[in-house]
Every structure is written in structure tokens, then in C-alpha cells.
A and B are shown apart, each in its own frame.
Chain A
Amino acid sequence: MSNGSNVILEARNISKYFGTITALDNVQLTARQGECLGVVGDNGAGKSTLMKVLSGLYKPSLGSLFFNGKEKTLESPRDSQKLGLEMVYQDLALAGNLPIGENIFLGREPIKNYGFVKLLDYKKIKELSEAHLDKLKIHVKSSEQKVEELSGGQRQAIAIARATAFNSKIVIMDEPTAALAIKEVSKVLDLINNLKKIGVSVIIISHRMDDIFAVCDRVMALFQGTNFAESKLTETSRDEVIGWIMGKK
């Protein structure tokens, strides 16, 4: 792993204020192609805020983002999607009243032109989403099943399918295994390893050391909104990382 050309995303000197509260203070983050970065920290350390800055949901108060070395300003998550960054949110960000396929394509629905009128291409939504679910070995009765009919683990699978459906280069996952049954965890971790193999950069926020040590190549710790520590996974230990979370070096 070199520090050179394969840096795909870099956040420099990010600060974020909510009124008088400082959520992030001069934070740095680097993500590389085909690498999994684990972001750890206690509740309120600023992990989720940082991820929302990276995805364009929040605008940073200070600092800048570089995608493939070029500085970009994100106005909305759509901008980061265009740059190949996808986010799997902790609250899963799925619309329960819509079917699986329509959730995967939400905001990017394929359309057919009928003269001046552009109508949804339901056939394409079904075909493409089922092909993608097959590729990820996610088995559902039908892509036309509503998301609210699925279990928590199944919803997580759909959320990850949604994030990876558009050849994304960077996938951010917020506590990807928190809501899962134990046997579903290994499937998600397998999925993450597969994403790394095809060159996707994965950023994981997790409290679970098992997950971090199963898939990550590098781990960084946030403490009270600042960079606290960072290391290659091979050069650290569980106890040390747990110490970082609690603010001890």
C-alpha cells in the first residue's frame, strides 16, 4: 500500500460547527482504492458527522474535500454520488413503503421516453435490481416486495445493494452490522471483502472490534471531534484501539 497515486478521497482540515457546538475540529481523513478504513470513536466523537460531510449531506464549516486529487464542493449527496461515493446510513435510509427495486434506484430511476413524456421503466428497474441482488448473492422473493416487509438484516442487505448498484468507487458504511443477526454479519463482511477485491474503497464506522479486525486495513480513531490516532491494522491491537476510543494512548 503506497501513499501515492491510489488515494481516492482526502478530507483536509475539516471542521463542523452546529451553533456553539464543535462537532469536528480540524479532522483529516484519507481513503485509498481497494482499501478498507475503519473509523472508531465513542458516541459523540464525530464519526457520523464526518461521514455526512464526506457524502455532502452536511457542508463543512471549514476545510476541503479532494476526490482523485481534485478539490470538490458538495452541495448535496447527489454530488458525491456523481463522484462515485455512496453511503449506507445507520438508519438505512430506505423508504419502507416502496418496493426493493425502487429503493435501489431511488433518485436515479431509469426512464423511457414517450414523446415529450418521460415515464418510469419498471421493467428495467426489476431486471437491473434483480441482476444486482443476484451478483451480491442477496436472495429475496421478488424485487417488487416492499422494504417494510423485510427484517432488519434483510434491509441492511438492500441498503448495501443500493450503495453498490452504480459502480461506486467509495462506499461508506455506518455500523453495517449493528442491526444484524450473528449469521448475517459474516455475509456482510464477505460482501465488504468482495468490494475491496474489485477496487472499491470502503470506509466503515463500527464499535465492533471483530468487524474492524476482520475487514479493515487501516483504522483511525476520533476523540471529541479531533483526530486521535491512526495506524495500519497489522501494527496495532484490539486493546490499543479500544484505548483510543476511550481517549487513552
Chain B
Amino acid sequence: MDLNKKKESIFLKTIPYLDKYGILILLFLMVLALHIMQPDVFLSWRNITNIFKQISWQSMLALGVFMVIVTAGIDLSVGSIMMLSLMILAVVAKAGMPWYVVILVPLVVGFLCGMFNGLGITILRMPHPFIMTLGTLYIFRGAGNLISGGVPISGFTEEVRYVGHGRIDLTWIGLDESQYLPVSLVLIALIYFIFWIFLNHTRMGKWIYAIGGNPNAARAAGINVNKILVIVYSLCGFLSGIGALILAGRADSGYPNAGLQSELDAIAACIIGGASFFGGRGTVLGVFAGVMIMGILRNGLNLMDVSAFWQQVLIGSIIVIAVYIDVLRKDFGTRK
């Protein structure tokens, strides 16, 4: 079985690299274009940290949804999980619980909500994760409003707000006081690094990709597919819980509309970042780039005073173009 017969063209050889880093080129071009259009503002310390603060909680939802998409699933409930976690956090904080309990609450609630999704999909054998998580999209948001009475609950302690609101002072390396590092930025970097290790360098991460590639192959290899799926949905919920903690710090409030439609932003970021809806494809770096592209686009268009309606049109166009590139890549990249 000699496989060395066909010499591949240079075009075919570049595909894996475009596959891996093409999205970063797009991100770089966007940054460059916005820098040229807004030379004084766009790349300023203040604006860059602003972008990271704006994408902070979305990036958590996107990472969770990404893992689910790698298994060829979908999670429509992440926005609602975040809202429910935030509301329970707010209620617990108002009840006067110590700050370390208040911080743990959204993480545990998020994890349990995700586990509920995972168990529903596997034990109730829902025909597609879309249905289970569409159901819980309503259930979790409704539960959040039932708990809070449908009104905002505001005012948290500094400890609770630290993750979303805290600043790391950099004056000790000679920077200006306004040139601080948002704690949420450090958290994003840390979480993304941990999940990059998890997905690319651990057995379970490899199995998550294998399930997305061919669930029967994973099963035949002795992998407990249902168990892995429950873990994936639980981790997705856990990340939504972290999103709730960040949002609690940023908004200083639990409010009924928190995270409304953010599941669609999260899915969009994954798709722009190169994750395939058919599962098994996509990288953590790509998702990060996808989140950044959406954040930078919104930020840049705001700086240029472009209306929010045009922003919707542009983000929608980028989704379609990104997926079309994925389709082309599939045509050229694989032999069937």
C-alpha cells in the first residue's frame, strides 16, 4: 500500500497552515485597518484594555460552546446559564453570605446546569443537543427570574467584583497609573491556556475530538462517549458560571436581561474561529481569535460612530464568509 504516489501541489500543502493560522491573519488585518483609520485611539492602552473588558464574559461562553461544538453538539443555553448563575450569586450576596461563598456559587450553579444539559442529552436520549439546550434556554432564564422576582439586584462587595472589575497596577514597572491590567484579561489568558492544554495534550481532550470526528470510532476504542459528553456540557456550564462572576464584577448587578442572545454571539465566535458544526475541528486559538474579531469589530465600529445596525450586518457577513472558507477548505483539503 504505497501512499507516496501523488506529489501534492504547493497549494494543497499550504492548506493546513491556512487552516491553522488564517484566522490570525484576518485578525491582524483588522487591527491594522482600524489602526490606520483611528491612529490615535484604537491601539491606545485604554482602548485595548476596554476591548478585553468587553469580551471578558463572552470569551468564557464561547470557549464552553466551542468544546460542545467539537463533539458535534450545540449549547443554546449558555446565556441563560450565565443569567441564572448571576441571579443566584446576587441573591446569595444580598443574603449576606461571605464573599468566598458568593464567588463559588456561580461556578457550582453553572457546572450543575451544564450537567443537567449533558444528562438530558445522554440519559433522555434527546435526538439532538439543540432540543435539550433550547429547552433549558427557557428553563434556566425563567428560573433566574423566579428566584430574583424579575428585578435587578445590585451592589456587590469589592471581593466579589474583583474578577470582573479589578485592576492589576503596573506602576512598579514604570507605567502610568492609567496603564493597568484588567484582572479579567489575566483570567481569560489563564483559562484559555488551561483549556488549550486540556483539549490538545490530555487523553480526555483527544477523546473529545475523536467523538466529534466519529463517535462510533470512539465507542469502538472503549471510550465512554456519554460520560465524556456529560463532562463537556458540565464544563461548558462551569465556564458560563465564570462568565457570570465576571459580569457580576463589571455590571455590579444581577439583571434579568443578562446574557440575552449571548449564546448566538458565542456560537458566532466559534464559527468565525474555524470550528466546524460537524464536529472534531477547530482550535482554542481560533475561538480566541473569533472572540477578538467580534470584539474588535464592535469596538472599532463604535469608535467610528457606525450604527449598531451596520454592526449586525457586518458580523453576520463575517459568519457567512468564514463558513464559506471552511466549505472551500473541505473541498480542497480532503479526498473522499
Contact = CB atoms under 8 A, between A and B. Distances in A.
Q: Which 10 A-B pairs have the closest CB atoms?
A: A78-B222, A95-B213, A107-B221, A97-B280, A97-B213, A93-B220, A106-B221, A93-B217, A119-B201, A95-B210
A106 B210 contact: yes
A104 B203 CA distance: 14
A231 interface: no
Contacts of A209: none
Interface residues of A, number: 41
B206 A109 contact: yes
Interface string A72-92: 000011100100000101011
Interface residues of B, number: 30
A96 B213 contact: yes
Interface stretch (B1-9, B180-188, B253-261): B1-9
Given A97-B280, A187-B1, 9 more contacts: A76-B224, A95-B280, A96-B334, A98-B206, A98-B213, A107-B207, A118-B203, A139-B2, A139-B4
Interface in A129-173: 138-141, 146, 148-151, 153-154, 157
A14 B205 CA distance: 37
Nearest to A86: B220
A78 to B, nearest CB: 3
A94 interface: yes
Given A140-B3, A150-B3, A94 B214 contact: yes
A81 B1 CA distance: 27
Interface of B: 1-4, 197, 201-203, 206-207, 209-210, 212-214, 216-224, 279-281, 333-335
A77 B219 CA distance: 8
A92 B216 CA distance: 9
A154 B219 contact: no
Contacts of A107: 207, 218, 221-223
A157 B216 CA distance: 18
A146 B336 CA distance: 12
Nearest to B215: A95
B216 A93 contact: yes
A77 B4 CA distance: 34
A108 B207 CA distance: 10
Interface in A189-244: none
A15 B334 CA distance: 42
A157 B3 CA distance: 11
Residue among A81, A120, A157 with most chain B CB within 10 A: A120
B30 to A, nearest CB: 28
A87 B206 contact: no
Contacts of A187: 1
